Chain A
């Protein structure tokens, strides 16, 4: 039915349409058409892009943006002048060990582990790290933390003490510090922290 032969008059109409299309086609050039369309789209793209500066010309967004930039700059400056990782480590060790000396468990200071793991370590730091990891593994149930630290430092203390005073290492006959009691440990720790801060 769709392709059935047309009657004369219907054929006339179709023929007229065909002639009209033929004539119109003479003036229709695809590349010109595409170029015009492309230009129009490009212009619209430009207008949309130009909408941004217009947005920025309004006072409220400019003020908000300025405040945001100032806050960002302040934050960066603060970070620049904040304590170095080494200083942070020293402070954190002081805090954790002070609490450990009071009988509190290091795992209650979960943030300390993270900072100590990431910091640079001296011999003393490595010794502490060993203790913390041991505490983590053993859940600290029946362990006397102060005794454990003392035991560790009995082995590590000579090297640790020599960090800030390498020009005068202890002589072979000189007795190395022993940290047998809590008082010994606290004394050692205070002296050591002072040395660290000097470094």
Chain B
């Protein structure tokens, strides 16, 4: 478990705040952040869905928790902190992708893909498939991609996804079906075009 002694002094700044009509102390906030940290793996999975690899996913997850810690004061419904955290995760990943897209305009080749070529022979096929999957997921429209990643990577329930994205459960299901179909088509197209 993370040492929260470093966090405590900052959380104590402006320590009293109204959350749903109740005064929330620094101790409450510390406890709240500890509760958020219990979801580090799920956040990592969600970030993995958006990221190219695990290294990038971990960086994103770090960013997510740092943002969560900085903005914990804005959390108005502590009992729904999990959904709030995943919303922060999704937004952080989308922001990061926007920045990356801009960066890519100035970069001809991706060094990560070059590194993939050096993988052992036995893993090449799997790597190829994973790369195709990644490309297919990245090519999804934003709404579908978020739904797919929260479900398949984050392993969240339809109810939770609906809550995070602010849509109905039925919409979640239809978006998931659409996403899977598009991924399948895209992967097929990419493998034929290879």
List the B side residues contacting A41 at CB < 8 Å: 6-7, 10, 66, 69
Asked if A38 lies at the interface with its beta carbon under 8 angstroms from chain B, I say: yes
List the B side residues contacting A2 at CB < 8 Å: 157-158
Interface residues on A, range: 20 to 34
Among residues of A, the one whose C-beta sits closest to the C-beta of B47 is A24
Asked if B97 lies at the interface with its beta carbon under 8 angstroms from chain A, I say: no
List the A side residues contacting B55 at CB < 8 Å: 27
Asked if A198 lies at the interface with its beta carbon under 8 angstroms from chain B, I say: no
Interface size on B, residues (CB 8 A): 37
B61 near A33 (CB under 8 angstroms)? yes
Asked if B133 lies at the interface with its beta carbon under 8 angstroms from chain A, I say: yes
Which of B37-45, B81-89, B99-107 lies on the face that meets chain A?
Answer: B37-45
A16 near B133 (CB under 8 angstroms)? yes
CA–CA, A135 and B23, complex, Å: 51
Task: Answer whether A42 and B6 are a contact pair too, CB < 8 Å, given A21-B153, A24-B54, A33-B62.
Answer: yes
Tell me the minimal C-beta distance from A36 to chain B in angstroms: 6
B58 near A1 (CB under 8 angstroms)? no
Asked if B126 lies at the interface with its beta carbon under 8 angstroms from chain A, I say: yes
State the majority secondary structure of interface residues on A.
Answer: helix
Tell me the minimal C-beta distance from B39 to chain A in angstroms: 12
B45 near A1 (CB under 8 angstroms)? no
CA–CA, A58 and B80, complex, Å: 44
State the majority secondary structure of interface residues on B.
Answer: helix
Among residues of B, the one whose C-beta sits closest to the C-beta of A48 is B10
CA–CA, A30 and B2, complex, Å: 9
Residues 1-57 of A contacting B (Cβ, < 8 Å): 1-2, 9-10, 13-14, 16-17, 19-21, 23-28, 30, 33-38, 40-42, 44-45, 48
B54 near A27 (CB under 8 angstroms)? yes
Tell me the minimal C-beta distance from A181 to chain B in angstroms: 68
List the B side residues contacting A21 at CB < 8 Å: 45, 48, 153
List the B side residues contacting A34 at CB < 8 Å: 1-3, 37, 40
Other than the given A1-B173, A28-B41, A45-B7, 7 more pairs (CB < 8 A) read A2-B158, A34-B3, A34-B37, A37-B65, A37-B69, A41-B6, A48-B10
Binding site for B on A (CB under 8 A): 1-2, 9-10, 13-14, 16-17, 19-21, 23-28, 30, 33-38, 40-42, 44-45, 48
What are 19 A-B residue pairs whose CB atoms fall within 8 Å in the complex?
A1-B173, A10-B180, A16-B129, A17-B49, A17-B153, A20-B48, A20-B130, A20-B133, A24-B44, A25-B54, A26-B54, A27-B54, A30-B41, A33-B40, A33-B58, A33-B61, A34-B2, A34-B40, A38-B3
